[in-house]
Amino acid sequence: MSVRLRRDGERMTGGAGDEPVARRFDLLVAGDLNPDVVLAGVPAELGVGQRERLVSEAVLTVGGSAGIVACGAARLGLSTAFASIVGDDDAGRYVLNELAARQVDVGSVVVQNEVPTGLSVSLVRATRDDRAILTAPGCIPLFEAAMIDRTLLRSARHLHVTSYFLQPKLAAGLQGLFAEAHAAGLSTSLDCNDDPSNEWDDGLLAILPAVDLLFANRHEALAMTHRSGDLEPSLAQLASTGTLPIVKLGDSGAVAWSAGAAASMPAFPVEVRDTVGAGDGFATGFLHAWLGGRDLARSLAFGVACGSLSTRGLGGVEAQATLTEAATAAEWLLARAAPEGAS
């Protein structure tokens, strides 16, 4: 499939004083995009000495938190546009063609020829209970808010941004970008993802008043608030900024903090093959329900359903839920599991 690629330096349209545009997209996803190589059945000890080791399975697929969310949203039926940066290389063309084949609009992705597209390798242990992710960031850190077409921004209902710490130039402009989005009538969300430096600077906390929905896992929620142990104080601190914190708990489901109290939803039972992208699947499902006007419990259930179902295959996009699958699993959860408090 051939897709139009916006070259670095090409003029972006739109500005603060432009006329309103029609809402063509339910969702604009902005952030990281790269190929993922997922290796399953990796021995616990790889060793050195130039020895060759065998794994049980391997897949080349779409990676990057933003890329996975965009694919999942389109699969659920949300009209989805994408903003990112890739290199002018085979890796960049591969991921853009994969997104386009999944009905994601990639016409505003910036292509530059100085730095290659990023690449991640996920090493999944034979026991499937843990993994390591090795990432060559390539051009991912070059993405910045100024690269997002403002006409595209104003044509969406919601802006979702990912991977705060992998994209320092984007992070620097996020507060202004979210303010623009709100002024244009969009709601906003952020999935901070991990901080490879493990420094967790307070710049992230400073932008949360401009974030409607904050997605994080347990480790990230504790780390960004510089806490450990019980999750509830972190949830309360994050909520005090005005955002709605939603924390992904893996095989324990998810929890959110709203109106001074926690609401949780357990995981949906599936046979897990790989957890890469499960958190992105959760965010996709939650956004689908929330943008559809569903309440918090139903949004949590839809998110948990999508996150759980995504673990049925290797990689983040290969087993993403259809709308029918997600709705069936969400109804099962709502019928059998009353929301519980945070643990």
pLDDT tens column, 269-291: 999 988 999 999 999 999 999 99
Cα separation values, 330 from 63, 258, 321, 333, Å: 25, 20, 11, 5
In a domain? residue 187: yes
Structure tokens at 207: 């932008």
Q: Span 302-325, mean pLDDT?
A: 97
In a domain? residue 176: yes
Report d(CA 25, CA 79) in Å as an integer.
Answer: 5
What DSSP letter does each residue of 189-241 carry, written as one string? EEE----TT----THHHHHGGG-SEEEEEHHHHHHHTT--S-SHHHHHHHHTT
**Count of structural domains within the chain:** 1
Domain residues for 228? 23-43+55-246
Instruction: Write out pLDDT tens, residues 287-300.
Output: 999 999 999 999 99
In a domain? residue 338: no
Structure tokens at 33: 């995009």
Q: In 3-state terms, what secondary structure has residue 244?
A: strand
Contact 76, 306 (CB under 8 A): yes
pLDDT at 237 over 50: yes
In a domain? residue 291: no
- The whole-number pLDDT of residue 14 equals 47
- The whole-number pLDDT of residue 110 equals 98
Contact 131, 125 (CB under 8 A): yes
- CA-based nearest residue to 319, from 334, 299, 305, 337: 305
Contact 232, 218 (CB under 8 A): no
pLDDT at 249 over 60: yes
Instruction: Write out pLDDT tens, residues 90-127.
Output: 999 999 999 999 999 999 999 999 999 999 999 988 77
**pLDDT > 70: what percent of the chain?**
92
In a domain? residue 103: yes
Beta strand pairing status for 244-248 and 156-162?
unpaired
- The whole-number pLDDT of residue 4 equals 43
In a domain? residue 203: yes
pLDDT at 53 over 80: yes
- The whole-number pLDDT of residue 108 equals 95
Structure tokens at 275: 């957890």
Note if the pTM is more than 0.85.
yes
* Average pLDDT along the chain: 91
- The whole-number pLDDT of residue 13 equals 46
In a domain? residue 266: no
In a domain? residue 76: yes
Q: Is 327 left (phi over 0), alpha (psi -120 to 50) or beta?
A: alpha
- CA-based nearest residue to 83, from 185, 183, 14: 14
What CATH number is attached to the domain comprising 234? 3.40.1190.20
Q: Span 227-253, mean pLDDT?
A: 96
